[in-house]
């Protein structure tokens, strides 16, 4: 069973940075696509970023491109989301996910079977 354990998050001011981590046992991310989604109350999960197990260039949502960076450690058991230049529009609960989506479904939350517990990110102006 794949378990994803998140850490990071918190409350920060506009323009600052945060880093989220998502750890799993073994080298799970060697064989699965990892992704980050976020959700605000009353809405569905919004795609943020994803990375294939082949360690190709990450995919990003247009809203975070150039500000967020998705990376993975060499042991393939932890992924990170470095979030810079945060704005209040980035306020949400952030979830890491893992699964085997095909390219056309990479940005759909339904394509991922495994989820972290979520981390609140609050950005104040």
Determine how β-strand 33-39 pairs with β-strand 92-99: antiparallel
88 φ, ψ (degrees, to nearest 5): -60, -25
- pLDDT, greater one: 74 or 48: 48
Q: Can you give 45-98 as a three-state secondary structure string?
A: CEEEEEECCCCCCCEECCCCCCCEEEEECCCCCEEEEEECCCCHHHCEEEEEEE
Q: Are 9 and 116 in contact (CB under 8 A)?
A: no
Using one digit for the tens of pLDDT, what is the confidence trace for 61-100? Answer: 999 999 999 999 888 899 999 999 999 999 999 999 999 9
Give the pLDDT confidence score for residue 34 in this predicted structure. 95
Q: Is the pLDDT of residue 27 over 90?
A: no
Using one digit for the tens of pLDDT, what is the confidence trace for 98-112? Answer: 999 998 899 999 999
Longest dimension (CA), the chain: 40
Give the pLDDT confidence score for residue 32 in this predicted structure. 92
């Amino acid at each position: 069973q794949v378990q994803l354990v998140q850490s990071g998050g918190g409350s920060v001011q506009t323009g600052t940075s945060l880093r989220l981590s998502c750890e799993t046992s073994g080298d799970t991310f060697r064989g699965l696509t990892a992704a980050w989604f976020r959700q605000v109350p009353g809405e569905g999960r919004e795609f943020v970023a994803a990375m294939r197990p082949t360690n190709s260039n990450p995919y990003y949502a247009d809203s975070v491109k150039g500000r967020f960076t998705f990376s993975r450690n060499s042991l393939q058991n932890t992924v990170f989301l470095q979030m810079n230049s945060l704005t209040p529009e980035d306020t949400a609960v952030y979830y890491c996910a893992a699964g085997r989506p095909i390219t056309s479904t990479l940005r759909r939350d339904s394509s991922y079977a495994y989820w972290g517990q979520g981390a609140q990110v609050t950005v104040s102006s």
